[in-house]
Amino acid sequence: MTAVRSETTPGRLTEQTAAISFPAGFTWGAATAAYQIEGAAAEDGRTPSIWDTFSHTPGKVRNGDTGDIAADHYHRFRDDVALMADLGLNAYRFSISWPRVQPTGRGPAVERGLDFYRALADELLEKGITPVATLYHWDLPQELEDAGGWPVRDTAERFTDYAAIMAEALGDRVKIWTTFNEPWCSAFLGYGSGVHAPGRTEPDAALKAAHHLNLAHGRAIGVLRSTLPATAQTSITLNLHQVRPLTDSAEDLDAARRIDAVGNRIFTGPVLNGAYPADLLEDTAHLVDWGTLVQDGDLAEISRPIDLLGINYYTPTLVSAPDGAVPAGEASRNDAHGKSDHSPWPGSEQVVFHLPPGETTAMGWAIDDTGLHDLLLAVGREHPNLPLMVTENGAAFDDYLDPKGAVNDPERIAYLHGHLSAVHRAIADGVDVRGYFLWSLMDNFEWAYGYSKRFGAVYVDYSTQRRIPKSSARWYADVIGRHGLPPVDGLA
């Protein structure tokens, strides 16, 4: 995909004086991930995932936090679904813990693990909430990583078997399926920069992992299609980078091209177009032998048609060519993907990342809703017949309980209002956007940041596991109820 220059400015709240309505049938949802909320890490047959191992490794996660208990959703899911119903959610996007249902990544499933997801889906359906299942949100069974992980082709075979198990178990309940959430993070943060599990820093392994994630996606789509009812929908969710060059110089434009290739088109190319882009192959030819890595038939499998494309967006990506020597680890300091002396951009380690101007979230990410509009517009123009879903969007802020026991987060309300306005603008521009999933339903284990960052619309008091809807949750419930956005003076 290519970058789209924005002709708008972020934070357009002052321009909206009337309420905004969304199209009929637009889905309002919220999203979570298994390792971030479930807890029960060693119960009912579940074995360690790479994130269990990573979080228990000293120095890998802030404050030594782990997902052992998290938000205890495994034991509290019925209360959490009731909370979703109170907010009026149309849909709930959750992920399945692979080691909870197939502990070694091989062989038969554990029925107790399947029963949890059956019960969760049943509870959602009873409350009129559509379950949206993601097969993989980063929690590879540790035994498969011990055998080589995603850089090894056999892991794609194992994922295909796992997809078949889940389709058979939940196919009568779940009608929307996502193969992978943000495979870019799995490949390049897990095997490139090492800031995510399994914490490896091998540029060639990161590229191999990307291909095998693509292959696993395509094969899983084949299994889902052969097992699920014809009415079921299949998808993949990508965290596409809205790449912008710092200037219009040829050097900066080439830097943007490079990051677009390894940040976006390494997935959209084979998945949506049936081929890896030639410039990506050229940029990375010194790291991997693509002719050997990509075997006959792979691209045909990877490019099996999907029904929806999920897009996750938080902040734009601003890049330039290097100005002089770039010290090791410096180039990617402002790429919004954590700090490491190792780059998650194999073949383009020299590209410099800049913090875009303006306000930032507690993650240090620039707040710019035009990036979401521009990203949706770019994808919509390149793939006009493919419906889109915003499957993650949200922000972390320094939320706290006030003396009255409430959590007021006007910054998050402003963020959501701006980004939902951007979605509406994209729809008005002709992009087929079918829904929006807020990240996240509740505060949770925020990967390498542990519990230090709060993205939830619902505050979680981890000492008591009490759930407290923030003011943004009440605002979002109002948005859902009116099927649109209030005028700016209705933000509070």
Write the CB contacts of 161 (distance below 8 Å, at least 6 apart in sequence).
Answer: 102, 106
Beta bridge partners of 484: 21
Find the catalytic residue in 182, 349, 411, 446: 182
- In the block, tokens 């269990």 appear at 52
Whether the Cβ atoms of residue 321 and residue 254 lie closer than 8 Å to each other: yes
Structure tokens given for 458? 């619902």
CB atoms within 10 A of CB 42: 11
Q: Which of 38, 301, 349, 392 is catalytic?
A: 392
DSSP annotation of 180: E
- Residues β-bridged to residue 436: 28, 390
Per the structure block, which two tokens stand in for 10? Answer: 């972020």
- DSSP letters for 25-57: T-EEEEE--HHHH---TTSTT---BHHHHHHTS
d(CA 225, CA 388): 19
* Separation of CA 386 from chain center: 19
202 catalytic? Reply is: no
**Is residue 380 helix, strand or coil?**
helix
Sign of torsion over alpha carbons 248, 251, 253, 259 = negative
Identify the CA nearest to 136 among candidates 267, 26, 237: 237
140 neighbors 149 (Cβ within 8 angstroms): yes
Structural Rg of the chain based on CA atoms: 21
Whether residue 391 contacts residue 376, with contact meaning beta carbons closer than 8 Å, is answered with no
How distant, in Å, are the alpha carbons of 92, 116, 117, 118, 421 from that of 169?
A: 18, 11, 9, 8, 38
Whether 392 is catalytic:
yes
Q: Which two tokens stand for residue 257?
A: 């091209």
Q: Which residues are catalytic?
A: 182, 392
